[in-house]
Amino acid sequence: MRVALFVTCVNDTLYPRTGQAVVTLLERLGVEVAFPAAQSCCGQPQFNTGYRRESEPLVRRYADVFRDYDHIVTPSGSCAAMVRDNHPRVGDRAAQEGRDGELAEAAAAAAARTYELTEFLVDVLKVTDVGAYYPHAVTYHPTCHGLRMLGLGDRPRRLLENVRGLELRELPGAEECCGFGGTFAVKNPAVSAAMGADKARSIGTTGAQAVCTVDNSCLMHIGGTLARLGSPVRPVHIAEILASTEGDVR
């Protein structure tokens, strides 16, 4: 089984610990992980803002870079959804517009082999207890693209429930968007901030020490809002919780 990590541009640049956690976790589970260095970004910022043509080279790059791997694992529900739902669309449109007739097929093939981390753990490796230890009260926010586009369902929760020491706190209004929305956060800052503040308040009512998601982009907005509001709740990616063991407790 040839497994490649698609770390995503956000994690690569701003949250390397999340990528390191995925590597630690997968290797602990006996999976050898490759990191093809020619990878970059799924093209979602361009695509979702209306610049589909700008996303096209990145869609092509993704399909090329990961062509020889059986499974492509990414610690981002949003980027996985972009690859799975929108890469084939970008390919189809390129063909319709007479540019790259083979992109659609290549994109669809790569999309079919792309897994969000919790999908890969539960569906491919068939594990829900990854042997993690994380002695904290944690609340889980299901991010929108993981929830609605990928249909992650209870996979992340099942993984968290099996983490020793972790106390899972219910998040009121969990399925409401946090207000990040990519470029929405800066194009509609007032509404984005209002949604973020409401999400931060809900998180605060849980009494959790940490809020966890499958997406660092949403978490950048949630964590940034929590910090600005002076909340002690820490944002943490699910990979970092699942990678933690007794030896990591500081």
Question: Which residues from 32-51 bind other proteins, rule CB under 8 A?
Answer: 32, 34-41, 43, 45-51
In the set 28, 29, 61, 124, which binds other proteins (CB under 8 A)? 61
10 Å CB burial of residue 1 (0-12, 13-18, 19+) is exposed
Kindly tell me which of 138 and 178 has the beta carbon lying closer to other proteins: 178
CA separation for the pair 235, 223 (Å, rounded): 5
Q: Is 98 a residue that touches other proteins (CB under 8 A)? A: no
Interacting positions 157-176 with other proteins (CB under 8 A): 175-176
- CA 193-241-149 angle, to 5 degrees, is 55
The number of angstroms, rounded, from the C-alpha of 244 to the middle of its chain's C-alpha atoms is 18
Beginning with the edge strand found earlier in the chain, give each strand of the sheet holding 71-74 in spatial order.
33-34, 3-5, 71-74, 114-116
Q: How far is the CB of 75 from other proteins (least distance, A)?
A: 10
Confirm if 173 and 202 have CB atoms less than 8 A apart: yes
52 is an interface residue for other proteins by CB under 8 A: yes
The CB-of-227 to other proteins minimum distance in angstroms stands at: 4
234 interacts with other proteins by CB under 8 A:
no
Q: Does 142 bind other proteins (CB under 8 A)?
A: no
Question: How many chain residues bind other proteins (CB under 8 A)?
Answer: 72
Q: Contact 137/167 with Cβ under 8 angstroms?
A: yes
How large is the greatest C-alpha to C-alpha distance in the chain, in angstroms?
57
Closest-CA residue to 212 (of 246, 239, 172, 178): 239
Find the part of the chain contacting other proteins (CB under 8 A) among 159-167, 186-194, 205-213, 240-248: 186-194
* Using rule CB under 8 A, residue 151 touches other proteins: no
Q: Is 203 a residue that touches other proteins (CB under 8 A)?
A: no
Closer residue to other proteins (CB): 9 or 159 = 9
Q: Does 145 bind other proteins (CB under 8 A)?
A: yes
